[in-house]
Amino acid sequence: MLKSADDGTLTAQSQPGGGLERWVERHLRYVMLAPTVLILLALTIFPSLYMFYAAVHRISPNPDLPWEFVGLGNFARLLSDAQFHVALRNTVVFTVVAVTVEFLLGLGLALLLDKFIRRLSFLKTVLMIPMMLPPIAVAITWKLIYEPQFGVLNEIMYRLGLPLQAWAGDVNLAMFSIIVADVWQWTPFIFLLMLAGLASLPVEPYEAAALDGASSWRQFWDLTLPFLKPVIAIALLLRVMDALRLFDLVFILTGGGPADRTKVLSLYIYQVAYRFADPGYAAAISLFVLFVTIVFSTWFMKRMRLAD
């Protein structure tokens, strides 16, 4: 039986007899942890293990055929699969460019608005709107903006006498168009994190620096950036992990085209699993993405800590 102690914590009160109660009392911490562990096992561990199991098999869409063990065969396919290489390259390009732009814009906006934000707090709400929208709604909105014949962007271009562009359809513009939409949606996320970081900075070092005659740039470089480092690290890590999983924007805006220029890993995994009915190979690609994400995250966190 649980009883509230004077300090407010819960303690087990022993009762004579009641074997079960005594057992619960002895193993209380395990009992309390059990639901979490079970949920974790069901939702994370089991699917992950199952993905490993699937990745070493060739799985026929015919349920009457047995799964064929292929060992590392599905992983070996990654080496010679040209479509996978294209998707990997596009994912890296997207992640590097989009996250860099989002970070620079988010940080810039936060620095710019830091001093005024209390007076213009509605700005925070406005800037958060893109982030709160469902990704599919963002993708459809941008699809309409980019529409070559009736889209608002080309209407502006036309009125300005500029050449009309196939924003999501041109091989040279498609990836750029996706990056712009992603930047629009996720810059506010970086902005908010940076703003929170800036609000928590100590005042004294800046006062001392000002007395010593340090310029604003010097203060930013030698004080703000080092103080913000932990926030920057978290923001970049979260955005990189999210960017590696990009799907919605590409699925709606370009479908991976034109000419495979916007095919990213998530879209390719989806195609392999559901369009080509090859879940074993899709599991192998998914594990590769998981591996890359874990390696990058570990390296990045270690580096940030070491630098500190």
Q: Does residue number 166 form part of the binding site for other proteins (CB under 8 A)?
A: yes
Contact mark string toward other proteins, 266..295, x via CB under 8 A: -----x--xxxx------------------
Residue in the structure block whose two tokens are 């929208």 = 133
**Cβ contacts of 298-302, under 8 Å, gap ≥ 24:** 300/233, 300/236, 300/237, 300/240, 301/233, 301/237
Q: Which residue among 24, 25, 28, 67 contacts other proteins (CB under 8 A)? A: 67
Q: Which residue among 76, 129, 199, 259 contacts other proteins (CB under 8 A)? A: 259
Residue 52 C-beta: closest distance to other proteins, Å: 11
One-letter-per-residue 3-state SS of 265-299: HHHHHHHHHHHCCCHHHHHHHHHHHHHHHHHHHHH
Q: Does residue number 165 form part of the binding site for other proteins (CB under 8 A)?
A: yes
Residue 142's H or E segment, with its range, is helix 135-146
Q: Does residue number 167 form part of the binding site for other proteins (CB under 8 A)?
A: yes
Please tell me whether residue 68 adopts helix, strand or coil conformation: strand
Residue in the structure block whose two tokens are 């591996």 = 291
Q: Which is nearer to other proteins, 7 or 64 (CB)?
A: 64
Count of residues in contact with other proteins, rule CB under 8 A: 35
Q: How many CB atoms lie within 10 A of CB 193?
A: 22
Q: Which residue among 4, 79, 150, 203 contacts other proteins (CB under 8 A)? A: 150
Residue 67 and residue 55 in contact, taking contact as beta carbons nearer than 8 Å: no
Main-chain dihedrals φ then ψ at residue 43, nearest 5 degrees: -95, -20
Scanning 2-10, 145-153, 189-197, 235-243 for contacts with other proteins by CB under 8 A, the matching segment is 145-153
Scanning 207-215, 216-224, 258-266, 292-300 for contacts with other proteins by CB under 8 A, the matching segment is 258-266
Question: Which residues form the interface with other proteins (CB under 8 A)?
Answer: 50, 53, 60-64, 67, 83, 147-150, 164-171, 174, 254-261, 271, 274-277
